[in-house]
Amino acid sequence: MQTAVGAVEADVVQTRATTYNDKVVRQFALMTVVWGIVGMLVGVIIAAQLIWPALNFDLPWLTYSRLRPLHTNAVIFAFGGSALIGTSLYVAQRTCHTRLFSDGLASFVFWGWQLVIVLAAISLPMGWTSSKEYAELEWPIDLLIAVVWVAYAIVFFGTLAKRRVSHIYVANWFYGGFILTVAVLHLVNSAAIPVSLTKSYSAYAGVQDAMIQWWYGHNAVRFFLTAGFLGMMYYFVPKQA
């Protein structure tokens, strides 16, 4: 009897190993570590510049004002974003007992998100910025973010739609809220009128622009840095407890 149970468990483990797409999860996990190191290293550099301003070596792309948005974007969106996307795809598969909705689309989400990060790392030190805090990236990168985010939503919600259990685990509700709300925040706040490939002006003006920017800023903290990570905790903390 025990042998039979052991065989069944082995079959289940083998089935899970071949059913779940863990490649994209591992890719996001690896880049989470990489971008975490990079983002925090930039933070150390700009902190040191507050004591020794000469550390910018009189180079415009190494000044505090250009490296500070690079630091915040790297920590929030590169480090945090990679962690959230990777864990959400892991949790969705485990709690829905099914493979990701589309392996190809999941791969596109990974490479697309990394491209966004690399473009940010190039454009921000160059001074190509919309000047909106936490939304500094210019319109071509904003468009790429929108495309990648839609693909991510399709993969995540598509996986939930084909789940093999009726119950939707609580972590997925937090991840879902994070995905939908961040999409709305990005689309509204990043609305702009392009005047060149590296410059655009906000679609809003004056007080309205400031209000929308910080409607975005505070809700980005609530949903990107809070709801998403609560989803992560609702799965991994009980799992390890």
**181-201 pLDDT, tens digit each:** 999 999 999 999 999 999 999
Q: Which residue has the tokens 């995540």?
A: 156
Q: Are the beta carbons of 70 and 42 closer than 8 angstroms?
A: yes
Q: Are the beta carbons of 226 and 172 closer than 8 angstroms?
A: no
pLDDT for residue 3 is more than 90: no
Six-digit token string for 66:
């250009």
Taken in order of first residue, the domains within the chain and their CATH numbers are 22-240 (1.20.210.10)
What percentage of the chain has pLDDT greater than the value 90? Answer: 91
The pLDDT score that the predictor gives to residue 56 is 96
Helix, strand, or coil (residue 222): helix
Structure confidence by residue, pLDDT tens digits, 60-74: 999 999 999 999 999
* Residues 175, 43, 198, 222, CA torsion sign: positive
pLDDT for residue 120 is more than 60: yes
> Which residues lie closer than 8 Å to 165 by C-beta, 6 or more apart?
95, 96, 97
Six-digit token string for 174:
């937090």
User: Span 109-123, mean pLDDT?
Assistant: 99
Query: What gap in Å lies between CA 177 and CA 199, rounded to an integer?
Result: 31
The pLDDT score that the predictor gives to residue 129 is 96
